[in-house]
Structure 1
């Protein structure tokens, strides 16, 4: 296994670090380090990228606001099925905007270079394919697709188009993820054998009890278009504005939040994904008519591969958390562990000053000839923090997208990566509702 890890290190250009890992990296270092600040993504001389926003809800609005913080980026078009959001768009981003409820009208426009897709999940696939076929670059919110059967359709359309496509799990572009990837490759925590992630919320907004506008009606919501690719139903403002709670439109807790954890884990470990998936949970508190659980536990088996040893992953999500919630990803190895956040890494090792076991300490003294002189030990905990002034993962994710467009380059979270992160999250739902293990081929990205 050690030889396999060295081959991996060599492949990513870190073979030289393999002989200077774990103890040395801590022994000469303070217990706190800061790492790289913001990148530069453009200059005033570069061509302006013209954006369209399709889906101007909470996340779509946040995406566009972040995108517009970059130089030489402007918005020309906004599309949404609720007129209230279109009216709000003019107040936020200007009277010059072309406004529509039809995404096909967006894709016909010559003043649109790239689209941000912030719609409910059940429209991600079709709008992504339509945009790529129209020659537009795409930023699509996670999860990339609504079901695993849609994944290869998007991948094939992307490959054919030659356009840049990035999935919006922005943590992948964080300095925290990048530092964790570097530390794991250097062998700081040894070989990975286990990982776990947790995401908790409790407030109504956090648990998808989104505000429903008082004026919402079929007069200002294009309900027919909204449900045109799902089951026909009478107009229901709850299903429109609180769409994450319903399987026709959303992908539950796993599609909303597990996918972030898969994205970070796969990026840090270079993993292609698990081969066995299981889930259980329940609806414990938010009994508001929703179809999906508010407690979800997922267990995943990652096979040994060229990229990493075999390991297990445990993910948990809780919308009934009276402590107001927390989020983390922990990666555990043979020499230590890493707690990974987007702006901080905490590395813990098992190097302790005392074992606490008198027998073992006496044995150690005997081996040293009775010499009980104390030694200088490396710290058992190292904290890496980003420098003050960091603009954040969301900003950097758009920066990487814009740089790839301008330089005809690539992004880390392209549709292949995005599907490999989305698939195990979506299959959690299948495991939960079908009450069975799901077998997945992470290499060929298909059910077994």
Structure 2
């Protein structure tokens, strides 16, 4: 089946059910909009107890642990971090019996650890994940799953060989918003895809990676030599340890932190494997605190026509100097409308096309349909889908998806192949910015051209 015939089939099959799918639950006061609740029937049930360990107990490491512990049948048994203060805080909150070490390999030797959460800086993701898989542990690894494109296939091969479950932590992938957007696109709600754009902005110091530095930060409390053992040797620098995202030796900049979320959502919604051409512009506009990465970044990406979707273009923007206090969304545009996609909400906007439109008249003539002057009832131009009350969020569901896969010998929504295809264009965005050149990528075979 050709790509054009395939898309035509999807539209016809999908649009047949779109009317039932889009029946409004609640009507808004406006005549041209409707409102619907998003629901999920999936329940994450406990069948076997899973013992979790955290390697890298910073902000996201602990957020992941707390979210995992919201599920039944989860125990927290061990932690590794290179800063003494974090381990002390964890033992105070979770009990002195929590095993702790400054060496992650001690955690991997323990037989009572089933699942490892990797919340370290990016430059340790690959090696810890490979070592954990080789040790027979299931792995939840924060995005991006690697620090550079060249690391991707090593981790994918280790995962395939291990037979273990590995989930990459772009948690928005498991959101109700993404699921509804995927359904709407397949049903032809916005016509044929041709463009997408994403925006992720922040303004607060914490949002711009100005994380707090403890008063006791020193070589006595931080295992600095271990931290830098796989990168450039430097004297102790608390900024580079606690504000690591600002430095290329440890982090992956705005694209590795935030663009990767937008890539993950877009690829899930469109079934895409990724772009084949990447370029970036930006600059250090405000946060001149010694950081090595820009605080404004603009990325442009070309997606080739594939069996999963027509060719389209993507524009991504990120701003840490945003005086509007932050904006986040992914917009997907087609020939008949658009969707603004967030994790808890989708806003669908469509065009009301008159039969006087010459293109519509030509289509009707081709199909043997006689135009009529009689006026029609037009559908709403805007439909808002929102998560219903009590929705526990994408992060909860992301961990639940992994637990189900472990307990039922299943698969996860974001395995290392999916995770790498989302990470690679983000990392190549950095390469384009710093090298001032277009980057070419083979999304099918996952390699730089």
**Do these two structures clear the TM 0.5 threshold for a shared fold by scoring above it?**
yes
Q: 1:391 to 1:22 in 2, by over 3 A?
A: closer
Aligned-partner Cα distance in 2 for 1:126–1:354: 60
Aligned to 1:56: 57
1:18 to 14, 17, 30: 14
Q: 3-state DSSP class of the match of 2:45?
A: coil
Counterparts of residues 46-445 of structure 1 (less than 5 Å): 46-351=47-352, 374-445=375-446
Aligned to 1:36: 39
Q: 1:167 touches 1:415 (CA, 8 Å); kept in 2?
A: yes
- Per-residue CA distance 1:253-310 (angstroms, 9 max, x = gap): 0000000000000000000000000000000000000000000000000000000000
Q: 1:26 touches 1:378 (CA, 8 Å); kept in 2?
A: no
What's the CA shift for 1:318? 0.1
Q: 2:195 touches 2:313 (CA, 8 Å); kept in 1?
A: yes
What's the CA shift for 1:17? 3.0
What's the CA shift for 1:28? 7.7
- Per-residue CA distance 1:186-225 (angstroms, 9 max, x = gap): 1111111000000000110000000000001001100000
Q: 1:38 touches 1:391 (CA, 8 Å); kept in 2?
A: no
Q: 2:55 touches 2:104 (CA, 8 Å); kept in 1?
A: yes
Q: 1:368 to 1:419 in 2, by over 3 A?
A: closer
Aligned-partner Cα distance in 2 for 1:424–1:368: 47
Q: 3-state DSSP class of the match of 1:224?
A: helix
Aligned to 2:30: none
Aligned to 2:360: none
What's the CA shift for 1:39? 2.8
Aligned-partner Cα distance in 2 for 1:61–1:28: 39
Q: 1:120 touches 1:250 (CA, 8 Å); kept in 2?
A: yes
Q: 2:355 touches 2:371 (CA, 8 Å); kept in 1?
A: no
1:5 to 4, 7, 29: 7
- Structure 2 residue runs of 5 or longer lacking an equivalent are 28-33, 357-369
What's the CA shift for 1:22? 6.3
Aligned-partner Cα distance in 2 for 1:443–1:310: 15
Q: 1:374 to 1:139 in 2, by over 3 A?
A: same
Aligned-partner Cα distance in 2 for 1:86–1:25: 49
Q: 3-state DSSP class of the match of 2:321?
A: coil
Aligned-partner Cα distance in 2 for 1:78–1:235: 23
**Stretch of structure 1 that moved more, 387-396 or 33-42:** 33-42
What's the CA shift for 1:352? 6.4
- Structure 1 residue runs of 5 or longer lacking an equivalent are 10-14, 356-366
Q: 1:36 touches 1:387 (CA, 8 Å); kept in 2?
A: yes
What's the CA shift for 1:2? 3.9
Q: 2:349 touches 2:383 (CA, 8 Å); kept in 1?
A: yes
Q: 3-state DSSP class of the match of 2:317?
A: strand
Aligned to 1:360: none
What's the CA shift for 1:93? 1.8
Q: TM-score, normalised by structure 2?
A: 0.92
Q: Cα RMSD between the aligned structures?
A: 2.1
Q: 2:24 touches 2:35 (CA, 8 Å); kept in 1?
A: no
Aligned-partner Cα distance in 1 for 2:71–2:331: 32
Aligned-partner Cα distance in 2 for 1:22–1:39: 22
- Write out the 4+ residue segments of structure 1 that deviate beyond 2 Å after TM superposition: 15-19, 21-30, 352-355
Aligned-partner Cα distance in 2 for 1:441–1:123: 25
Aligned-partner Cα distance in 2 for 1:27–1:92: 47
Q: 3-state DSSP class of the match of 2:348?
A: strand
Q: 3-state DSSP class of the match of 1:20?
A: helix
Aligned to 1:361: none
Aligned-partner Cα distance in 2 for 1:354–1:227: 66
What's the CA shift for 1:395? 0.2
